[in-house]
Chain A
């Protein structure tokens, strides 16, 4: 395979052959530049699209002729991700250095101005900072609640017992509900007049009970709803780890009279560590993006504004597009630091063990 990959000589720059990707890029750049300058936007987009396809085709033929199977297999995924995700991301990164509003035509370069504004503007009541602090709080509470509840549920289901399959699907259902429906129904459960929770507490305490009237109550309500919906995700991953531990390890441990606690750390934990990591990683990323439940349950009231909801307000409701982009890159930076910290800690543990 390696021998074959170097056997094909690089074509001359001017040679019109299917795998001459350098010529294809040159032609594409020239044609695209001309069409953007001359043709209207809607038409030139397609011209650029066609030339990009040409370049991609040249790359593909080149990779095929040289037996770069890796590049060939990865190419379609990279292409889709580039057009639908990476290109828009780069565009919004660019936008974050401009003063731009989606409902206006003007655009002006202001460098780091947006970043400076969102971090320092009216320090007394800066929404970005308080939203960041709230988000950190929600990440800690929701993720730890999900990990604990998910873990306990997984332990419940870790043995084979009659009707297990049917009980498991009941626990998985909250994850399948639409956030719109479950969020709206949680407003009903928490409602001071009609809600079940208030009804139960009122009839016990005899006092009007309003959960969402304080910050502690509102946060508890949101964390509870979020943990209820997404604990099954953690459960599924942990459960998969638990059922994969070979039985003979426990039998050997029982013969050696190893304590339950030690059995867990020496045998069970190594099997579920990777899965716990995956669950933690994906749940943390999602918790950073928490917005829909906050919108439905408190509309950001009682100081429960999260960074993601703040972003939706700024970018969508106030049309401050470029300021929103700046906030989101601030967020991305924090998520990357956090996920890398997780991965670093996980790898260090693996090496140490």
Chain B
């Protein structure tokens, strides 16, 4: 029956989508480029020589585009900022030291991917439970779960800091990963439940009558139909966890520090004001993994969200 659902939603080979030509491409390209400009400026800043960051007028382009752009808007691109992300002199005139950013990048990747995957595993099970075996007061449970996302992080964080300090979890991978898992669960459960709600129960019932166990029905029949949903939820969760700042600031130790926290410290330390080129270089490097994941899961993202939430 999966076939007919996809068909009903008009998703087979994008049959519901009109075709448009290169004219549309041109128009959208202009809008998308303007929308992307602030990001592009950050990326270009990462390639500027240190002194160029605060020039007035600002330098805007690494090339003159065959004379199209006046010379005073053009800078000479350099890669030295990316080097100084990982190693630079901390005191004026001092020898270059390792900044530990390789460790912070590893931490960010490790913590974000483990906690998002864990939330996905636990949340998908729970979503299947909420969808297929409604408990007494099912909607109340779901609303309470949504409530956990409503309060600002600072409210949850005070008791959590005290709790972690007592238990000795502050600054450990385990603590921060569990916290992020909980942080992602609400979104995961709400999203995955709506995916399971859309599935036709006929196939599952048929399998049960044929003697398949509940576990087998879940893994062999329900799960393969919501792959797109898993991908969409993964991307949303990853984007949110990747850039999370407050929990990381207050709960990660020197060994488990993530990039947003380290980035904040690196650019504002030393009392010399913001180090713009360094900040831009860190952000540019930090953008690459999540950009690639989103790009490669993009098709699932659109299909997944659709499949999950449109009530038909």
Chain A residues proximal to chain B, CB less than 8 Å: 41-42, 45-46, 68-74, 76-78, 80-81, 83-89, 91-92, 95, 102, 153, 156-165, 167-182, 184-186, 188-189, 193-194, 196, 199, 228, 236-237, 239-241, 243-247, 271, 274-275, 278, 285, 288-289, 291-292, 308, 311-312, 315-316, 321, 324-325, 328, 331-332, 335-336, 339
Contacts and interface: CB of A to CB of B under 8 A. Distances in A.
Nearest to B178: A84
A243 B163 CA distance: 47
B239 A247 contact: no
A275 B159 contact: no
A162 B29 CA distance: 11
A159 B20 contact: yes
A194 to B, nearest CB: 5
A69 B133 contact: yes
A196 B58 contact: yes
Interface of B is mostly: helix
A184 B267 contact: yes
Contacts of B151: 89, 328, 331-332
A339 B143 CA distance: 10
Contacts of A177: 39, 42, 243, 283, 287
Contacts of B306: 240-241, 243-244
Contacts of A245: 10, 16
A169 B147 CA distance: 31
Contact of A311 (B35, B152, B179, B183): B152
Interface of B: 8-11, 14-22, 24-25, 27-29, 31-33, 35-36, 38-39, 41-42, 45, 54, 56-58, 122-123, 125-126, 128-130, 132-135, 141, 144-160, 162-163, 166-168, 178-179, 181-183, 185-186, 189, 214, 239, 242-243, 245, 259-260, 263-264, 267, 274, 276, 279-280, 282-283, 286-287, 290-291, 294-295, 298-299, 301-306, 309-311
Given A160-B17, A315-B154, A74 B129 contact: yes
Contact of B185 (A80, A188, A274): A80
12 contacts: A45-B166, A69-B133, A74-B135, A83-B182, A87-B163, A160-B19, A161-B25, A180-B245, A188-B276, A236-B302, A244-B9, A331-B152
Contacts of A84: 160, 178-179, 181-183
Contacts, number: 302
A340 to B, nearest CB: 9
The 8 closest A-B pairs by CB, nearest first: A70-B133, A73-B129, A84-B182, A77-B126, A88-B159, A246-B10, A240-B305, A181-B283
B27 to A, nearest CB: 8
Given A86-B144, A89-B151, A160-B14, A70 B21 contact: no
Given A92-B159, A159-B20, A335 B243 contact: no
A170 B160 CA distance: 37
Nearest to B39: A173
Contacts of A239: 302
A171 B36 contact: yes
A176 B259 CA distance: 14
A77 B155 contact: no
Given A76-B125, A181-B283, A188-B276, 8 more contacts: A71-B135, A80-B178, A88-B157, A156-B31, A160-B17, A174-B39, A199-B57, A308-B152
A243 B291 contact: no
A312 B310 CA distance: 38
Given A89-B148, A89-B151, A161 B22 contact: yes
A311 B25 contact: no
A167 B274 contact: no
Nearest to A156: B28
A41 B167 CA distance: 9
B125 A77 contact: yes
Contacts of A91: 159
